[in-house]
Amino acid sequence: MGDKDLRVGLIGAGRMGADHALRLEKRISGVRLAAVADPDLGRAEGVAEASGARAVADPLEIIGDSAVDALVIASPGAVHEPLLLAAIDNDVPVLCEKPLTPDAKSSLRVVEAEEARGKRLVQVGFMRRFDAEYAELKRLLDSGDLGSPLMLHCAHRNAATPPGFTSEMMIYDSVVHEFDTARWLLDSEISAVSVRAPRSSSAAPEGLLDPQMVTIETARGALVDVEIFVNCGFGYQVRCEAVGERGTALIGADGGPLVHREGRWGGTITEDFRDRFGAAFDREFQRWADAARRGEVDRTAASTWDGYAAAAACEAGVRAQAGDGRSEVDLVERPAFYGRT
């Protein structure tokens, strides 16, 4: 397989990029890190060094490079659009970390460019679709064993936020995962988003509305409630309970060794999303690379359309936060090119 390895160019050598470089080199097969781009050239070199990859400052240099078969974009969302358009233009498969772009309008331009090209090239990094528990929940819902799904109850908790984290980022960076999983699990577009907040935790930084309760309405009449609590103090926790007409299924329950000690039973909580979703990232990357080598896209992964729909839901969420609590989501008509949800 050595001579057929997919040569990947990585754009963005920050924390997420460095993590993905490690993933490409050490944890998945059939892939080779060929180039790393970062405006901070030293940072690009640091990530590229171990694998002998080329390091550049300008990402556009590697998008058209014939020695690069595919791209992973892990730079900030604000700079994604031109990179994606260039990749589409060059016929290069892309795994783009979420968000596709920061707003629905620019996401739609990427949708249109891909559709115009007539070939699916872009995958958005909603890694939960590759998590073993979420995949099993999806399988259960699709099997019909629980009856038609009516509601999801979600909780999404982080121990603490980095400096500068805002109420809007709780929607754009965190709840965006629930937007995608809701659409994917329920196989239906989001029609409206509501946001309500209790009094904020005294552990939250001044000015941050934390926690918040987000309610999602889908076109098929399902309801999803999401607790987003990014300064819960005790660890990272993502939970989802699906309620169907005939039964319920819960994922995200606590695992690990069950310990009895000092008057207490229980276990430890994962610290962050890399512990919780590390294996999902690996599987996502492996399946993306396998598809890319065959000249295909992974149809279970999130498409450009999914990235656009998530961006539109985020915008509605932020409008709901700022306004009277509820905002409708307006999507353009879904192009046949993208098939069903």
CB of 340 to its own copies, least distance (A): 19
Q: Point out which residues pair with 212 in neighbouring strands.
A: 228
Q: How far is the CB of 239 from its own copies (least distance, A)?
A: 10
For its own copies, the closer CB: 124 or 209: 209
Check if the beta carbon of residue 247 is closer than 8 Å to that of residue 145: yes
Phi, psi of 116 (to 5 degrees): -60, -40
- Short-list 293, 314, 300, 312, CA closest to 29: 293
Q: How far is the CB of 27 from its own copies (least distance, A)?
A: 7
Radius of gyration of the chain (CA): 20
Residues 311, 315, 318, 324, Cα dihedral to 10°:
-140
Q: Which helix (H) or strand (E) holds 224?
A: strand 223-229
CB of 145 to its own copies, least distance (A): 7
Residue whose tokens read 């050598």: 13
212: helix, strand or coil = strand
Of 89 and 136, which has the nearer Cβ to its own copies? Answer: 136
Distance of closest approach, residue 333 Cβ to its own copies, in angstroms: 23
Least distance to its own copies, CB of residue 158, Å: 13
Nearer residue to its own copies within complex by CB, 76 or 267: 267
> Rounded to the nearest whole angstrom, what is the least distance from the CB of residue 301 to its own copies in the complex?
18
Contact 46, 21 (CB under 8 A): no
Between 110 and 224, CB nearer to its own copies: 224
Q: How far apart are CA 101 and CA 140, in angstroms?
A: 32
Do the beta carbons of residue 281 and residue 268 sit within 8 Å?
Answer: no
Rounded to an integer, what distance in angstroms lies between the CA atom of residue 78 and that of residue 179?
20
Cβ neighbours around 102 below 10 Å, total: 18
- Of 96 and 214, the one with the shorter C-beta distance to its own copies is 214
| Residue in the structure block whose two tokens are 């589409």 | 88
Closest approach, Cβ 39 to its own copies, in A, equals: 27
CA 112 to chain centre: 21
Nearer Cβ to its own copies (273/305): 273
Choice between 25 and 61, CB closer to its own copies? 25
Give whichever of 103 and 217 is closer to its own copies, judged by the CB atom.
217
Phi-psi region of 225 (alpha: psi -120 to 50; beta: other; left: phi over 0): beta
